[in-house]
Amino acid sequence: MRALKVLLISAGVVLAFASSAPAETNSRPDGTDHPYVGMFVGDFSSTHPGLEAGCPGTLISAAVFLTAAHCIDGRPERQAVPLFVTFDSEWSYPGSPSDLHAVATYDWNPLFDAPGFGTRHDNAVLTLEGPVSGIAPAGLAAPGVLEELRATGALFDSVGYGMQGFDRGDGPPQPIGNPPVSGLWQRRAATSRFAALTPDTLHLLTEDAIDLGGNCYADSGSPHLLGGTDVVAATSSWIDSMCEALSASPRVDSADARAFLGGFVSLP
């Protein structure tokens, strides 16, 4: 049995390897299965004209998009330009998504204290200039639901646009489907399993050796959904260094998260 790695790092970090190698992964193209999962984009770099990927997230009301605080806080290049949200299931860079919704304002949880494994309040919302038509928003988990699932080994659907994992052959591990290298940002889904729960954090088992999967680099802000539903339980924040063992994500049903999110959407 392989030992589980417990070094967790931000899912928003993208490792810049020179190439990627094809390999079987535990995620699948999402297509139209989760249309309310998208990502925000903007022209973040003067040396790369055009729109670039920010972070994934979830439409949780007609005009409110949930993502991770560390995707905005401490990112002056993202705060300095207009932001847009797209729900395209895939798009290529250079180029622009076809479906764009302008962001009017953004806010992050005031309790967010800076990146680090101990951060429990890594959530933010982007308020759009107008409602999104044709996409039904996802819901938010009600208080107590995750406690009820604690002993069941419940499954979760993890949906994002990031890397698909690592190929571990000869030499250093090589990223699979690395969007900043390939230029293809594709919404993909994987199945994760309940591992542990704290008052603020949902821990998921993503071990590929037992046919599970989960989010990886560039997936920060993307949702962990109650399996087979459109209900967000937590948002991706931290993963193990090889995206193959554990994830730790802030719950949306904690008292602090609800105090923040309740200022923008109706809560269950």
The DSSP-derived string for 192-227 is: EEEEEE-SSEEEEE--GGGT-----TT-TT-EEEET
Q: Which amino acid is at 12?
A: G
pLDDT band at 2 (very low <50, low <70, confident <90, very high): very low
**Is residue 98 within 8 Å of residue 38, measured between CB atoms?**
no
Poorest-pLDDT segment among 37-46, 80-89, 105-114, 117-126? 117-126
Can you give the residue ranges of every domain in the chain? 8-31+141-253, 37-137+257-261
Q: pTM for the complete prediction?
A: 0.85
Higher pLDDT, 13 or 21: 13
Higher pLDDT, 4 or 168: 168
Q: Is it true that domain 8-31+141-253 has CATH number 2.40.10.10?
A: yes
pLDDT at 184: 78
Higher pLDDT, 248 or 267: 267
Coil, strand or helix at 41: strand
- Buried b / exposed e over 27-46, threshold 16 CB at 10 Å, is beebeeebbbbbbbbbbbee
Mean pLDDT across the stretch 88-117?
A: 85
What CATH architecture is 37-137+257-261? Beta Barrel (2.40)
Instruction: Name the average pLDDT for the chain.
Output: 81
pLDDT at 23: 23
Q: Which amino acid is at 127?
A: T
Instruction: Please write the tens of the pLDDT for every residue from 60-88.
Output: 999 999 999 999 998 999 999 999 999 99
**CA torsion, ordered 210, 138, 251, 239, to nearest 10 deg:** 40
